[in-house]
Amino acid sequence: MDFSQQTNHEQKELWNGHAGRAWAENQEILDQMFKPFEALLVDAISSKAGGRVLDVGCGAGSITLAIARQLGTKGSCAGIDISTPLLEVAQSRAALESSCAEFICADAQTHVFEAGSFDTIVSRFGVMFFADPVLAFANLRRAGGNSAELRFIAWRDAAENPFMTTAERAAAPFLPNLPARRRGATGQFAFAERSRVSSILEQSGWGEIDIQPIDVPCTLPEKELVRYLSRNGPVGLLLQEADELTRKQVLQRVRAAFDPYVYEDEVYFRAACWMVRARSL
């Protein structure tokens, strides 16, 4: 098994295991926290006269459903993800609102799409997990066909996003098995470097590449913070298997570390990201 296959297998296990279930259980918290990004992508679609849209790494379906509502009868939106737990939530949400959105349980890196079947491809934090990003974006380019538009949001550097790493720094003394962040590794901050993102897109056949930094204010209720910390991220994943004493010690230390982000009954932080646009050649 080569590295890309191994990494791909790890991602499937992760998002169909503890991580996928945690995100599914905390779907409402996460949707609220990342709501501003949903608006950015949906607004981009609203300027078009319909079309066929693909949402990559759609998770619990927030973006897919929002775009489907925006398009109405003028177009269609499909979401693709490797996580069965998250797609079960997405499909349930679609059924509740009688949405025509469709969901595909597959790896967008290797899934055999019908060539030229989408006019626009979008993603909110869903494209940093590819084992072979050049292969993945080449596959998405084929799915989009000529002149398809690509628009996605990805995290910038970890150093610019201290909120996202505060839990790890605070929990490190209690969790010796906490994995270290490796620059450029598959995962949340894989696209931290603008030059790497540009190179990946160029190699996979995308042109008219535009990569702009955006700093987006995000919030969540303070009363939900401990729940979020206890389930999500590297610390949350380890806490799911920790003994009760360790779990209590870690959560106490980690919650205190987030005090600088708490303003009365709300948690506030700025997310440092890239807004990336490109067009298939």
- Rounded alpha-carbon distances, angstroms, from residue 176 to 14, 17, 43: 20, 22, 44
Q: Is this model's pTM higher than 0.75 or not? A: yes
Tokens at residue 107, please?
């790896």
Could you tell me the pLDDT band of residue 1, with boundaries at 50, 70 and 90?
very low
Tokens at residue 93, please?
């949400």
Could you tell me the pLDDT band of residue 9, with boundaries at 50, 70 and 90?
confident
Q: Where do the structural domains in the chain lie, given as residue ranges?
A: 3-157+182-218+271-280
H or E stretch including 243?
A: none
**pLDDT of the residue at 111:** 96
Q: Specify the amino acid at residue 161.
A: N
Tokens at residue 258, please?
């987030």
For the segment 244-268, what is each residue's pLDDT rounded down to a tens digit? 999 999 999 999 999 999 999 999 9
**pLDDT of the residue at 18:** 84
Phi and psi at residue 93, to the nearest 5°: -65, -40
3-157+182-218+271-280, what's its fold? Rossmann fold (3.40.50)
Taking the CB of residue 61, how many other CB atoms lie within 10 A of it? 26
CA dist., res. 240 & res. 14, Å (int): 13
Residue 8 above 80 pLDDT? no
Residue 88 above 50 pLDDT? yes
CA dist., res. 66 & res. 44, Å (int): 12
Taking the CB of residue 275, how many other CB atoms lie within 10 A of it? 18
CA 105-65-25 angle, to 5 degrees, is 65
Do residues 174 and 253 lie in contact, with contact meaning Cβ atoms separated by under 8 Å? yes
**pLDDT of the residue at 56:** 98
The structure tokens 């079309």 sit at 51
CA dist., res. 259 & res. 43, Å (int): 33
